[in-house]
């Protein structure tokens, strides 16, 4: 599904016209209309406003996923690994050097 189609679908599901949504987002009607026609892209700030207004994630809005995951305050969608301890980092570096050196022999 194209991003413009997704915007139109969200807007229509709320029963809004393009002009009404443009006013809500504080953008010109023609500008919003061009988003749905995919003639231009919204700024990152505007994309965030749209996602918040419709309570969908940016990855849904951008067409990365196909289900409108709602925005949840303080949710952790991506867990980043904890930094390695100095000891573990040194072991990892030694192991990687070993792998590279061993690979060069092949």
Neighbours of 7 (CB within 10 A): 22
Tell me if 61 sits within 8 A of 6, measured CB to CB.
Answer: yes
Integer CA distances (angstroms), 5 to 10, 12, 13, 17, 27, in order: 9, 10, 12, 14, 19
Its domain, for residue 42, covers: 3-61
44-54 vs 18-25: helix crossing angle, rounded to 10: 110
Position 11 in a domain: yes
Q: How many domains does the chain have?
A: 1
Whether the predicted model's global pTM rises above the 0.75 cut: no
pLDDT in tens, 38-88: 999 999 999 999 998 999 988 888 888 888 877 666 655 555 556 778 888
Q: Which residues contact 4 (CB under 8 A, 6 or more apart)?
A: 35, 36, 37, 38
Position 52 in a domain: yes
CATH number at residue 21: 1.10.260.40
């Amino acid at each position: 599904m194209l991003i413009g189609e997704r915007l139109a679908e969200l807007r229509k599901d709320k029963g809004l016209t393009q002009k009404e949504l443009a006013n809500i987002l504080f953008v010109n009607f023609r500008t919003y209309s061009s988003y749905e026609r995919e003639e231009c892209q919204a700024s990152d700030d505007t994309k965030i406003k749209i996602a918040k207004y419709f309570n969908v994630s940016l990855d849904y809005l951008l067409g990365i996923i196909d289900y409108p995951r709602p925005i949840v305050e303080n949710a952790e969608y991506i867990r980043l690994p904890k930094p390695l301890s100095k000891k573990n980092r040194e072991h990892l570096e030694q192991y990687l050097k070993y792998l590279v050196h061993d690979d060069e022999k092949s």
